[in-house]
Structure 1
Amino acid sequence: MISVCIATYNGEKYLEEQLESILPQLDSHDELIISDDGSKDGTLRIIDRYTAKDKRIKKFKGPGKGVIANFEFAINQSQGEFIFLADQDDVWLPEKVQTTLEFFHSHPKIDLVISDLVIVDEQLEVIEPSYFEYRNVTIGFLHNIVKNKYIGAGMAFRGRLKTRILPIPAKVPMHDMWIGLIAAYRNKSALIPQKLTLYRRHHNNASEIDTKASFFQQLKWRCAISYVLFKRIFFNA
C-alpha cells in the first residue's frame, strides 16, 4: 500500500494538475492524504470534488500551524508501507511511483529516497533540467547537516521510518530536511537519478531553491537541527 501526503494551503491554481498526475499512478488500495491548513481560495472545493468521485482520497483539516506541522499531520494519518510526499503545485511524471517502488524493492535496506527533479516555471517550461546537478546534491549525514539538500518534492520513504520521524520538532527549518537527516544518520538514504517530478517555481512557493537567509540565520538553523537530532537519536526525545 502506498500513501501520498499533500499539505495544501491556497493551492487552487495548480492543485488539480498535480492530482491528475498522481492518481493514475495509484492502485485501488492506495491512499492520497490531503491535509488542508485553512485555505481561503478554491482549494477545498477542488478537494471536495475529487473526494466525491475517488474514495482513495482522504481529506483532513490541518492543524493551522504552518507547512511543517501540516506535513507532520498528513504523515501521521498515513497507513502505507511506502509514503510519498507531494507539493500542491508540482507535476509527477507518469513513471514516478513505479520507478520509486522498483528501487525500494531492489534496495531493501534503504529507508528513504530522493529522486531527481526538473525545475520548471509556472507554465512548466524548463528552468534547470536537473535539480541534482543544479544543487550538487549528494547523500550523507554530515554533508547535509552543513548544507541540506533533502527535498520533499522528490522524497519517498518506508512507513517504518515514521516512528523515528514523528513528532517533527518545531525548531527545524523544514520537514524534509529533518526526515532526510533521520534516514541519513544510519546510512539508509539514497538518490534515484531519474527525473520523476516537474518542480514548479513561482512567487507563492512555500520553500526556496536557494535560500535568501543570512549566514547567521543559516548557522542558527544548523545548530537547531543538530541539537534536536542529537536528542532524538541518542535520547529518543
Structure 2
Amino acid sequence: MISVCLTTYNGAKFLTQQLDSILSQLGANDEVIISDDGSTDETLLIIKNYSDTRIKLLHHKPQSGKYRFSLTTNNFQNALQNAKGNYIFFADQDDIWKENKVEECVKLLQQGYDLVLHDTDIIDENNHIISKSYFEINNSKLGIVRNILNNSYLGCCMALNKKFLNKILPFPSVPVPHDIWVGILYEYFGNVILTEQKLLSYRRHGENVSPSGEKSKNSIIFKLKYRANFIIAFLKRII
C-alpha cells in the first residue's frame, strides 16, 4: 500500500494539476493523506469535489512559529502520523508528478533501499522549465555532514518505506524542516539512494515556503543557529 502525504494551505491555484498527476498513478487501495492548515481559498472545495475515497482530508490547526518552515513541518507531521502505507511519498501542493514517478520509486524501494531521493526539473507558474536539474544547481550528494551544511533532501523528491518512522517521529521541538530531518535520519539508520531520474516538475512561483532552488536570504547568524539546533536534535535522537 502507498500513502502520499501532502500538506495544503491556500494552494488552489496549482492543486488540481498536482492531484491529477498523483491519483493517476495510484491503485484502488492506496491513499492520499491531505493535511490542510486552515486554507481560506478554494483549496478545500477542490479536494472535496474529487469525491475520491483514496483522499483522506485532515484539518490541522496551524501552530505559531517563528520560522515559516515550522508551519509546514508541523502540518506534515500530522499527515505522516496518519499514513497507513508501507511506502510513503512526500508531496507539495503545487508540483506535477511525472507519469512514472511511483513506478520507479517503488522499484527502488523493493530492491532494498529505505529512502529514494530523485532529481527534478524546475518549472515556473506557467509550467515553463527554468532549470533542467535541481541536483545540478544544488550540487546534490549524499552524506550526513554534507547535508547538514548544504541540504540535498527535497521532500517532494523523496519516497521511503515506513521502517524507520519510529526513529523520525515525533519531529524535534526546535524548528527543523521535515524533509532534511527525515532524509538525514534515514541516511543514518538505513540505506538511501540518490537517483538522477527526474520524476517530478518542481514549481517555483515566489510564494513557496522553502527557498530550495533559489539563493537563501537567511543571515549567517540564522544559518549557524539553525545548524547548531539541528545537530543537537539529531544527536539526542540517535544516542
Q: TM-score, normalised by structure 2?
A: 0.94
1:29 aligns with 2:32: no
**Contact 1:116–1:132 (CA under 8 A) maintained in structure 2:** yes
1:127 aligns with 2:130: yes
SS in 1 for 2:24: helix
Q: Deviations over 1:24-64 (max 9, x none)?
A: 100001000000000010001011111x2x11110001131
**Contact 1:140–1:185 (CA under 8 A) maintained in structure 2:** no
Q: 2:60 is matched with which residue: 59, 62, 65?
A: 62
1:139 matched to which residue of 2?
Answer: 142
For the residues of structure 1 that align with 2:189 and 2:32, how far apart are their CA atoms? 28
For residue 75 of structure 1, report the CA deviation from its aligned partner.
0.3
For the residues of structure 1 that align with 2:229 and 2:216, how far apart are their CA atoms? 17
Q: How do residues 33-44 of structure 1 correspond to structure 2 at under 5 angstroms?
A: 33-44=33-44
For the residues of structure 2 that align with 1:189 and 1:72, how far apart are their CA atoms? 21
For the residues of structure 2 that align with 1:190 and 1:183, how far apart are their CA atoms? 11
**Contact 1:122–1:202 (CA under 8 A) maintained in structure 2:** yes
Ranges of 4+ aligned residues in structure 1 off by more than 6 Å: none
For the residues of structure 2 that align with 1:169 and 1:118, how far apart are their CA atoms? 30
For the residues of structure 2 that align with 1:222 and 1:82, how far apart are their CA atoms? 29
For the residues of structure 2 that align with 1:86 and 1:94, how far apart are their CA atoms? 14
What amino acid sits opposite 1:137 in the alignment?
S
2:46 matched to which residue of 1?
Answer: 46
Q: Deviations over 1:100-140 (max 9, x none)?
A: 0111112x1x2111110101111111111000111000011
**Contact 1:85–1:152 (CA under 8 A) maintained in structure 2:** yes
1:4 aligns with 2:7: no
Give the unaligned 5+ runs of structure 1.
Answer: none
For the residues of structure 2 that align with 1:105 and 1:211, how far apart are their CA atoms? 36
SS in 1 for 2:170: coil
1:149 aligns with 2:147: no
Give the unaligned 5+ runs of structure 2.
Answer: 64-70
Q: How do residues 213-232 of structure 1 correspond to structure 2 at under 5 angstroms?
A: 213-232=218-237
What amino acid sits opposite 1:225 in the alignment?
F
1:174 matched to which residue of 2?
Answer: 177
1:71 matched to which residue of 2?
Answer: 76
- Aligned pair count? 230
SS in 1 for 2:78: helix
For the residues of structure 1 that align with 2:184 and 2:57, how far apart are their CA atoms? 28
For the residues of structure 1 that align with 2:3 and 2:32, how far apart are their CA atoms? 6
Q: TM-score, normalised by structure 1?
A: 0.94
SS in 1 for 2:99: coil
For the residues of structure 2 that align with 1:39 and 1:64, how far apart are their CA atoms? 10
What amino acid sits opposite 1:227 in the alignment?
I
**Contact 2:164–2:189 (CA under 8 A) maintained in structure 1:** no
Q: Aligned Cα RMSD in Å?
A: 1.0
For the residues of structure 1 that align with 2:55 and 2:14, how far apart are their CA atoms? 17
**Contact 1:36–1:59 (CA under 8 A) maintained in structure 2:** yes
For residue 172 of structure 1, report the CA deviation from its aligned partner.
3.4
SS in 2 for 1:196: strand
SS in 2 for 1:207: coil
SS in 1 for 2:76: helix
For the residues of structure 2 that align with 1:39 and 1:170, how far apart are their CA atoms? 24
